[in-house]
Structure 1
């Protein structure tokens, strides 16, 4: 994406949203002063400070102005609505816990509703201004491509899909290498690339020819730097990899990584662990002391025996641990070999209810507190499943890079309970891999919220 255009859009929309909020605050206060109803200025000052602070918090947490969202008006509009509602929740929480009962109800209601309306107006302004600015040459990238091959064709298709204005001028390639009609003109041989770039005012040159294959590319790189033209090399690694990868560096040495792993960073792991400890401690102290006796008694009355069920499961780095649950089945010898299914004869009536409401998983907060599990992560599978599916699904074991969770991205997207087909498990694994590669604290909170919604609805997929 054109970074100049992106930064300009981010700055303008951020400023527009923040200014509109504070203009609404000032107008409302001016109106109250006019009618001599404005009082308790300290309370209003604290409220105004919280309105701005909480707005900045939800912006950062929701990453509202990121390239992913701001490049698509539909995604940006949806994300704005989500961010606005989270902001509303923070404001209402402040009003409740800070006991701000002296504030004018009409002032607060009008302000919150007006900000919602202004955000919609701002998005419409953004759409009009973005369309207008796109026509300016300053924001257009003029691109020249070196080489005409499969990589060059794929590059063209990707550049054409970009939302921002890109002008592909053509290719530089030797005439004898062209065996077909091209969508863009062949401008000349490689040795004339810089001459053509200066004539056509090129902003960026993409080379699909590796310098190792043509030493003249090194000279073109140096000439491009001298002419203030950005030079980028597209390596063709299709023989070795058929999916995206990431580049890290050891000093000046590039290292290709098959995937991005946010939880590979110590700071992120510490943040996630703190979240796990806070949540699990709350449950262990305030919920389990009364939940265990009540549920345990119901389990024992229907099916005498232990109230807890322990099973070995595979965790992070494929290490085994004892996973705790409320016992939901009659005591049987197939628990470690046969998964629960819909209308399973082994299920007790109490157990069926516990599974539908996910209450059977609550003892796992002890696993979270100990450190075997996390609140959010790929669900831990029994040893047989891990052994079987790791042989059938190529990237199955990659999910083991992350600590298993009580709930996960796959579960809130409907992949919970009985595994009926291999394709079903593949989709579940894909969701787990997406979570591992896109982890954020905000994503964990979002998954916990969706899980609570599923618990209240009583998930029919559970068994």
Structure 2
């Protein structure tokens, strides 16, 4: 979430109402038109953030490689005595990328028009060499370097960088044509306000927004079925299901901020979705701090909620999962082999137990565990929670459940990508408490699914593991999960991962 809490933009009473909202209600069934539109939008897209971030890495690599090739041809092969050349080439490449960032050369509009930014890129590259020359003059080391080598690098480096940008521009245009690179947006609220907002967005040059439709609770008299050429696809409750199927990136609420109660009613339903939620500020006379706004071109939007662990954060978390999952598999492989042998000797049936659980964005995933129950008494739907001295659990099963060894195969889930190592623990699809689904017990329960579920989590290391036999336990687990989502960082993940084996020594609630 942004540095400005969205709740603070409303009255204290309204903020409290938002926090206590019934956001876990079940979505309505989509109408046929909305379902058809959603199914056509189901494929993943390439985000501008990922494109520009990848280009930064590639451009650094291209500039550095061109410098190294020139050095090897004109100065000589690798020599430990010439280590300073490698330092200068790496530093020059990094400085050039930083200057290009400051001059907005990684914005999508600039990437789509490389010839329009030709002079700016050339100026940045020249400025990089001017800075290196000034540094060499101040340190009195200019005579130690080959002027010919740096002169040739200036030409080849710029040519390589610009060629890379020509390739990227062509790719971006192709992705824009086939819908591969876009931010999918839905307008929440119809009428004249929505029409003005849509027209303003469409007038912005080189924007990556694709408006997928309009959702509004009002009838056709107050909210026309077609606004600015876009159909009204359903109600706000139907939007929740639509956004999950169509993989919507952005929800724009086109209501005046002065309509506080109505805006809050919408946010009560929508905040469980893993999407960016913005409030149109185009016609608002109220002014907030500049950092409260984001823009589509020149169209101002108030930031309400941000999709958690997005863009390069998701790349970093995925790399974290792959590295530590492989370490975990190697480290615990003797225990897993011994457990497999013990299960086979103890009772008949398969080694692994596969269970359907809720994953990211409410998608159903299959989670692996060592089988801890008798094969003919297993409960894949988890309708009946395992209790103390449960007769369905085998002798080996009691031990591996108490020590959480039964969860070790989930390292493979994390490696393959259906789970993360750290995150809210995934619950079985039909998990119940007193004949009520968890979502019916806890308001905002589905907000846990705004991120990928984990093998371990903040709730588990704080004691909320094992049997969920009371509504309070479910609420507390959800509260800790939501805290994790709002405060995520790689260091937080590492802390949870390192504390997990220590906290698992407390087996009070595990059976």
**When the two structures are superposed, what TM-score results if normalisation uses the length of structure 1?**
0.46
Structure whose CA Rg is larger: 1
Higher RCO (CA < 8 A, seq sep 6+): 2
**When the two structures are superposed, what TM-score results if normalisation uses the length of structure 2?**
0.41
